Amino acid sequence: MIYLLLALMMGANQKWSELHAFTYISSRAILALVTSLIVSMILYPKAILVLRSLKMGQPVRELGLQEQMQKKGTPTMGGVVIIFATLLSAFLWMDISSRHFLTLVLVTVGFGAVGFVDDYLKITKKNTDGLSSRKKMLGLLIVSIVTIAWHLWSSHHVMAVGKTHSMIPTLLDIPFFKHLFVNLGLFYAPFAILVMIGSSNAVNLTDGLDGLAIGPVITCAIALVTLSYVTGNVVLSKYLYYHYIAGAGEISVFLSALVGASIGFLWYNTYPAQIFMGDSGALALGGILGTVSVITGHEILLIVMGGVFVVEALSVIIQVGSYKLRHKRVFKMAPIHHHYQMQGWPEQKITVRVWIISFVLALLSILTLKLR
């Protein structure tokens, strides 16, 4: 909104031309990060007090871990503040006329709403059941279908009006190769939906220790900020032999807002956590990362930068599969972070090491800009 106002002011009167610096994507990305950080830092103390007074505490599964049982009753649904701060900041600093703005709003609000219902049911029922897996997946599926439908329609509309140099939306970019793409055609929509839902659930599974999930979310978002900026810049994308997508640069503003809100949340979620994000946050954040990777053609690269989330999800799949087929467990407990807890690793050690791994993976993902 502020971006459009600035553009309008500069177009109407040349004396406002000195404000031009604030219309650059890089400037707006920084301002979006700072804005969402300030908003979240202001809101979280109040949110924690309100949630405690309403007894909106996190139910905890009986895992046989005393460390986990001590978390029972900690205020949850902190993801609502992340979503609010991100959307507010994005609304202020992003070009809201961009087709990508609506795409990201759809997935953020939609996935967040599914998670909110799940959190609310857990709190009111005083157990960890919440929404059934079938209902949760159905909700995520409906939101994903609507989001992808809009993305494909808007992409084809942009190309139809003359921006044919933009990458075809159904192309899958293969990292480390300059001009290697796979056109998924009719299989693109199911693939994109799978990426969105898979990413959402992977982040949700990782959210089991204080600060564990939000750290990799921040590093992945920062990597995608860089990749989105290059993808949406005609000059840089051409120089780096990278694919160009019209308007993708605006996504970096949205992601910067997400980074700021997530840092604000981490301030209160670091050990010992004063608030949890809950499914309302985890599903939305994972959905955003998956959607951005789909929009910018980085679906495969998301596996690299989000390697922590992939391992967490695979550990659950392997554990369940092994028990059903062999009646034996591969890990002492799944997701894998609980396995290390059972081995006696302190929670802080697990979290910090996951952050380090995620940071390195994010750097490797950015490095692919040159290794092509």
Look at residue 148 and tell me whether its pLDDT is greater than 80.
yes
Mean pLDDT on 120-145:
88
Collapse the DSSP code of 171 into the 3-class scheme (helix H, G, I; strand E, B; otherwise coil) and give the result.
strand
Q: Give the distance between the most distant pair of CA atoms in the chain.
A: 75
pLDDT band with cut points at 50, 70 and 90 for residue 299: very high
CA dihedral 173, 175, 180, 183 (to 10 degrees): -20
DSSP string, 299-310: HHHHHHHTHHHH
Compute, in degrees rounded to 10, the torsion defined by CA atoms 84, 88, 89, 94. Answer: 130
Q: Distance between CA atoms of 295 and 58, rounded to whole angstroms?
A: 34
Burial (Cβ within 10 Å: 0-12, 13-18, ≥19) of residue 15: exposed
- Token pair of 142 as six digits: 């409906």
Q: Is 173 helix (H, G, I), strand (E, B) or coil?
A: strand
Secondary structure of residue 370 in the 3-state scheme: coil
Query: 17 pLDDT band (50/70/90 cuts)?
Result: low
pLDDT tens per residue, range 194-208: 999 999 999 999 998
pLDDT tens for each residue of 230-267:
999 989 888 888 888 888 999 999 999 999 999 999 99
Q: What whole-number percentage of the chain has pLDDT above 90?
A: 62
Whether the upstream peptide bond of residue 216 has omega within 30° of 0, thus cis, is no
What's the pLDDT at 6? Answer: 65
Amino acid at 213: A
